[in-house]
Amino acid sequence: LEILIVALIQLNDPNIHLTLTGNCNAAFKKYLEKNAEMIKDRIHFAGILAPDELLAFASQFDVGLALELTSSENRNVCLTNKVFTYLLAGNAIIFSETAMQKTFNQKFKMGLSFHLNDLNELKDCLIKYRDNSILSSQRIYNYKLAANELNWEIESLKLLQTLK
């Protein structure tokens, strides 16, 4: 998240807000207090949400952030649930390029991605999604992709077939 905070500070766009769910640890709050003073009014903490609330909550926003590090091999080779939540919510997505997220996004074209720790690429992603036509078409595409292809109802049939 630190690279995202730097990008938001450098862009200094009053229309870009960051809403975080889950627990915010003391170290990150201290980081924000020290480094994000100029954008602190655009950072919002939603706290912990029940799993059945996540989809409706995510649908209130335009872009979902799948910012993962490769420091754990598991994070490098897996997709987190948030990717599918963002799709079902109709969010555009910004991915950090872990091995799996890069492969998955290249196959399905669900959003924009940036190389890990490349601040300028991340800023470019944020700037591209300020273009409402790009943002809107990506959101519609993602919602249709989730409705017609990447959802549990369809994927569960594949699992059942494999188990047979």
What's the rounded Cα separation, in Å, for the pair 107 and 50?
31
Confidence of residue 154 (pLDDT cuts 50, 70, 90): confident
Q: Do the Cβ atoms of 72 and 46 come closer than 8 Å? A: no
**Residue 18 contacts by C-beta under 8 Å, 6 or more apart in sequence?**
4, 8, 39, 42, 43, 44
What is the Rg, in whole angstroms, of the alpha carbon atoms belonging to the chain?
16
Separation of first and last alpha carbons in the chain: 42
What's the rounded Cα separation, in Å, for the pair 42 and 17?
5
Give tens-digit pLDDT for 123-132: 999 999 999 9
Give tens-digit pLDDT for 45-72: 999 999 999 999 999 999 999 999 888 8
Of residues 75 and 84, more confidence is placed in 84
Fill in the amino acid letter for 43. I
- For the chain, what's the residue count? 164
> What are 81's two structure tokens?
């649930």
**Residue 122 confidence (pLDDT):** 98
Tell me the backbone φ, ψ of residue 163, rounded to 5 degrees.
-70, -30
